[in-house]
């Protein structure tokens, strides 16, 4: 009975962990895609452009760069809290499982 309860809690924890991991991966992929777009904008800048085109491209690149930095900072703040909560919940879950196992072993004697 106690093993079934532990396995149910473990499966729930594992699902949440995998979901968060996949979400982090997608956020990182999105950020790297935005950086690639910024690199393409910078690669398209050439010496053949007149001043007006050059100013427009640079403003676009600077704006894109600022948005990427802001987005990366938001991701960092959100996921550092998620990582802290996961660490704390993992520690608590490990302690509870250890307590349950020890209690069951002592009650069987």
- The answer to whether 74 and 31 are in contact (CB under 8 A) is no
More confident: 69 or 75? 69
pLDDT tier for residue 66 given thresholds of 50, 70 and 90: very high
Average pLDDT over residues 69-88: 85
- The answer to whether 93 and 16 are in contact (CB under 8 A) is no
Neighbour count for residue 3 (Cβ, 10 Å) = 10
The domain containing residue 34 runs over which residues? 2-108
Residue with tokens 């307590």: 99
Number of domains comprising the chain: 1
pLDDT tier for residue 6 given thresholds of 50, 70 and 90: low
User: Average pLDDT over the chain, rounded to whole?
Assistant: 82
CA distances from 25 to 28, 75, 100 (A): 5, 11, 34
Q: Pick the range with the lowest mean pLDDT from 6-10, 31-35, 101-105.
A: 6-10
Model pTM?
0.61
């Amino acid at each position: 009975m106690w093993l079934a309860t532990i396995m149910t809690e473990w499966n729930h924890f594992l699902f949440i962990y995998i979901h968060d991991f996949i979400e982090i991966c997608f956020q990182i992929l999105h950020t790297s895609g935005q950086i690639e777009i910024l690199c393409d904008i910078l690669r398209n800048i050439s010496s053949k452009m007149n001043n007006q085109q050059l100013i427009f491209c640079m403003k676009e690149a600077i704006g894109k760069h600022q948005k990427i930095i802001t987005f990366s900072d938001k991701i960092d703040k959100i996921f550092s809290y998620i990582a802290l909560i996961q660490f704390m919940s993992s520690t608590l879950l490990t302690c509870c499982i250890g307590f349950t196992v020890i209690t069951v072993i002592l009650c069987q004697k």
